[in-house]
Amino acid sequence: MENGRIIVTGGAGFVGSHLCERLLREGHSVMALDDFTTGSPKNVAHLTRDARFKLEVHDVTQPFSFAASRIYNLACPASPPHYQRDPVRTTLISVLGTLNCLLLAQKHNARFFQASTSEVYGDPEVHPQPESYRGAVNPIGIRACYDEGKRCAESLTMDFNRTHGVEVRLARIFNTYGPRMAFDDGRVVSNFIIQALRGEDITIYGDGSQTRSFCYVDDLVDGILRLMEHPEERGPVNLGNPSEFTVLELAEEILSLTGSRSRIVYMPLPEDDPKQRKPVIDRAKAVLGFRPRVSLRDGLTRTIADFRARLEGVPRMSSAGLVASR
C-alpha cells in the first residue's frame, strides 16, 4: 500500500471500527469520519490513544476535503430499523456520501472502496446469489431507501471508474455479526442475543424457515482488505460466509450458548423481507484467496461474551419492536 492516511467513513460503526482497528494494527494512519447516526464514539474509544488515529465528526452528505491514499466508504445505516427511521436521509447518505467520497478520491488520486450490500439482490429469485445476478428489488417498498440507494452507489462507483479513471473496489457484503453490534441494531443475531440474555421471548418473524449466511466480522475485514489491495480486481465481489442456516436454527444455537430459558414466539414476516440469502464466493476465493475461518458457533460465543460484558450496568430497556431477520 502507498504511504498516506486512510479515511474510513462510518469509522465509528460496527464494521468500520473493526476495520480501523485492523488498519492501525498494520501500521497505517487512519481518520474515521462519523456523525454517530448509528455509530458510537465508544466503538473507537480504545483507538484514540494511538497518535496515528483521528476521529472526525462529519456528515458525509456534506462535502469534505482531507488528503488520503485510500478511502473506505462504510457510511450508511445498515439495519432495517435504522435505515427505515429516516428513509430519505438513508438514500442521501448512500448517494451523496458516495459521490463526495469519489470526488475526494478523484482529487487525491486515491483508491476507493465502496461497501455495497447483499440487499442489492432484494428478495432473490436465484439462490445462492452470484455477482452476475441482477436482483429482485421492490423500488417503492419500505426497504428501497437502502436497497436502491446502494444500487445507485454502485452505479456511481463504476461510472467514476469508467469516466474519470478513479481506482475503485466494490464489495457486496452479506450478513455480518460480531462484537460491538448495537443493542438496537435490529438484525437477527443481535435481536436474539439480547432477548436470550434478558430472558425475553425470542421473536422470529415468519415461520423460521427463511435462511441467512452469517460472516464473523474479522473474516469480513480480511476480505475487505484483500479486495482493496488487489492490484486489478474492481468487483463487484461478494464477501460473506456461504454456510447457510435457518433463522430457527440460529435461535436454537443462541439459546444453547447462552443457557437462556427464553421461549420462541412467531410473528408475521415484515414487507419485502428476503426468504433466502446466501453468497456465492467463488470469485472472492479464486481472485482474493478469501476464505471465512470463524465458525458460527465460535463467532456467536465471542459475540455473546461481548454483549454480556456491555450489558453489565446498562439500564434494562425492552428489545420489543426490533423487527428484522436480516
Q: Please report the pLDDT score of residue 282 as a whole number.
A: 98
Q: Is 146 a catalytic residue?
A: yes
- Structural domain boundaries of the chain? 6-174+217-239, 177-213+242-311
List the catalytic residue out of 83, 121, 146, 177.
Answer: 146
The mean pLDDT of 203-228, rounded to a whole number, is 95
DSSP code of residue 96:
I
Chain center to CA of 240 = 10
CATH of region 6-174+217-239: 3.40.50.720
Do the Cβ atoms of 119 and 138 come closer than 8 Å? no
The mean pLDDT of 239-258, rounded to a whole number, is 96
The mean pLDDT of 111-127, rounded to a whole number, is 95
pLDDT tens by residue, 48-79: 999 999 999 999 999 999 999 999 999 998 88
Residue 324 has pLDDT above 60, yes or no: no
Rounded-to-integer distance, Cα 42 and Cα 55, Å: 12
Do the Cβ atoms of 44 and 55 come closer than 8 Å? yes
CATH architecture of 177-213+242-311: Alpha-Beta Complex (3.90)
Q: Residue 274 — very low, low, confident or very high, per pLDDT cuts 50/70/90?
A: confident
The mean pLDDT of 296-304, rounded to a whole number, is 98
Q: Residue 110 — very low, low, confident or very high, per pLDDT cuts 50/70/90?
A: very high
Kindly report the number of other CB atoms within 10 A of residue 325's CB atom: 26
Rounded-to-integer distance, Cα 147 and Cα 295, Å: 28
Q: Please report the pLDDT score of residue 186 as a whole number.
A: 85
Q: Residue 316 — very low, low, confident or very high, per pLDDT cuts 50/70/90?
A: very low
What is the pTM assigned to this prediction? 0.92
Amino acid at 273: D
Residue 42 has pLDDT above 50, yes or no: yes
Q: Select from 178, 180, 161 the least CA-distant residue to 170.
A: 161
- The grid coordinates of residue 240 equal 460473506
Q: Please report the pLDDT score of residue 275 as a whole number.
A: 80
